[in-house]
Amino acid sequence: MKKGVFLLLIAAVSALGGLLFGYDTGVINGAQFYLTEYFDLSDALKGWVVGSALLGCFVGAIIAGPLSIKIGRKWSLIISAIFFTVSAYGSGLPELFPQTVSMLVVFRIIGGLGIGVASMNAPMYIAEIAPSNIRGRMVTYYQLAIVIGFFVVFLATYFIGNDLSVAENIEFGWRRMFWSELIPSLLFLILLFIVPKSPRWLALKGKEDDALAVLKRINGDEAAKKEMHQIQESLNETNDGVKVSYFSKAILVIIGIGTVLSVLQQFTGINAVLYYGADIFEKALGFGKEDVLAQQILLAFVNLVFTFVAMFTVDKFGRKPLLYIGSVGMIVGFLLLSITLQQNSVGVLSLIGVLLFIASFALSMGPVVWVLLSEMFPNKIRSVAMSVAVAAQWAANYVVSQSFPMVMGSEMNNSEPWNGSLPYYIFIVFILIIVFITYKFIPETKGKSLEEIEGFWK
């Protein structure tokens, strides 16, 4: 198999983990109305069914680190594919099985475990196997796949729902929506068996010959030998018989910087906009609350287009410039939205503000954070460090998702001078913190090998 085709295969298979991340997260949005009617859920139970996957995501990200060290990136992804498959089938159990709310929640949590394991291992695996000159673009495939997953699942649930009557959707249509995930999850599971193991993990386990063989298939003989030498030097520096102390000051600083960056991705407010933006669209474009699909497709389209822009510029401009550009765009977008809210003139400018924010996020914090997390940690601590950072990101996702409606409904937010704009000003403060953190602590990793990046922390 030619080197370019081999690399494309690896990126495509790994990115399927991202597509399932987006698909599994998005499928509940299409199914929730019908399964709420089927089970006659209270608001509290509906929130638990919808949000239970986040618990699995958090736990999955925590176990992903030790799992990745023990059995490797490839087998960790295989386990995540099994989780996705079991969740997809179990969430839509046929009527002959006694499906209950508790069972549905269990299968949603299993799907969350798959997301948690894949969200840590997929970008790390791509980064560890990709050549340094195109590593940023290859890791960005993962974010692109997440966005495509959201887009595909919106279309899938729409067509399944439209093909049936409301009564049929309530009875069994929502089951088919969950089962539609079986196609990408089984494809992911099968294709993972033909991709190689990570050369960095193989070297970490003392299998240098196997690691070199993988690198030769990717880079050619000479480049592979050079990269293998760098990997061995990196491992030898920390492999002097002393166990890595994750509580040493130097390592805590590295993990802390990565974790803060990961958490700040959620504190931009991206999920608040995606989860709770219906009112803005209703006022700005006259969409009804029932026209959720049109809103989702508009958001997904903008997200998709600017993720492509990021994919083709991250290795050309670098990681830090994209973060700066994106941060400015996010701030301007939220300022447009906030000012129109304060002036009680919500309309097209508000919509432009929301779309500018989403475009800027898709250009920067969406893909670039995954790129940086996958490459900034030293070889010896990468699995554990990334596990901590990704788990913290899922916790932050939960905090923002729970606190945003409370802040929105607060008396302070709904009185002068805020008039509903307070949460967006809070998000602007966090985006300014991103600019400071990026300037002060984040290394520019464009074009550098993972071992060269490691030298930044010494």
Helix/strand/coil (H/E/C) assignment for every residue in the chain: CCHHHHHHHHHHHHHHHHHHHHHHHHHHHHHHHHHHHHHCCCHHHHHHHHHHHHHHHHHHHHHHHHHHHHHHHHHHHHHHHHHHHHHHHHHCCCCCCCCCHHHHHHHHHHHHHHHHHHHHHHHHHHHHHCCCCCHHHHHHHHHHHHHHHHHHHHHHHHHHHHCCCHHHHHHHHHHHHHHCCHHHHHHHHHHHHHCCCCHHHHHHCCCHHHHHHHHHHHHCHHHHHHHHHHHHHHHHHCCCCCCCCCCCHHHHHHHHHHHHHHHHHHHCCHHHHHHHCHHHHHHHHCCCCCCHHHHHHHHHHHHHHHHHHHHHHHHHHCHHHHHHHHHHHHHHHHHHHHHHHHCCCCCHHHHHHHHHHHHHHHHCHHHHHHHHHHHCCCHHHHHHHHHHHHHHHHHHHHHHHHHHHHHHCCCCCCCCCCCCCHHHHHHHHHHHHHHHHHHHHCCCCCCCCHHHHHHHHC
pLDDT score of 2: 67
Average pLDDT value for residue range 119-139: 87
Tens-place pLDDT, residues 171-185: 888 888 899 999 999
Q: Which percentage of the chain shows pLDDT scores above 70?
A: 91
Is residue 249 classed exposed, middle or buried when 0-12, 13-18 and 19+ CB atoms within 10 A define those classes? exposed
Domains 1-195 and 246-458 share a fold: yes
Tens-place pLDDT, residues 135-149: 888 888 888 888 888
Does residue 323 have a pLDDT over 90?
A: yes
Does residue 93 have a pLDDT over 70?
A: yes
pLDDT score of 243: 58
pLDDT score of 14: 78
pLDDT score of 431: 98
Q: Which CATH class, in words, describes the domain spanning 246-458?
A: mainly alpha
Residues 6+ apart with CB under 8 A from 3: 217, 218, 219, 220
pLDDT score of 287: 61
Selected residue with higher pLDDT from 75 and 152: 75
Q: Which percentage of the chain shows pLDDT scores above 90?
A: 41
Q: Provide the token pair at 1.
A: 């198999």
pLDDT score of 295: 67
Instruction: Assign domain 1-195 to its CATH superfamily.
Output: MFS general substrate transporter like domains (1.20.1250.20)
- Most confident option among 5-14, 91-100, 373-382: 373-382
Q: What is the domain partition of the chain in residue ranges?
A: 1-195, 246-458
pLDDT score of 277: 63
Tens-place pLDDT, residues 246-286: 677 888 999 999 999 999 999 999 988 876 665 566 655 55
Average pLDDT value for residue range 75-100: 87
Does residue 131 have a pLDDT over 60?
A: yes
The mean of the pLDDT values for the chain is: 86
Q: In which band, very low, low, confident or very high, does the pLDDT at 157 lie, cut at 50, 70 and 90?
A: confident
Closest CA to 371 of 132, 168, 148: 132
- Most confident option among 341-345, 406-410, 431-435: 431-435
Q: In which band, very low, low, confident or very high, does the pLDDT at 304 lie, cut at 50, 70 and 90?
A: confident
Average pLDDT value for residue range 42-60: 84
Q: In which band, very low, low, confident or very high, does the pLDDT at 288 lie, cut at 50, 70 and 90?
A: low
pLDDT score of 136: 87
Does residue 239 have a pLDDT over 60?
A: no
Lowest mean pLDDT among 156-165, 305-314, 381-390: 156-165
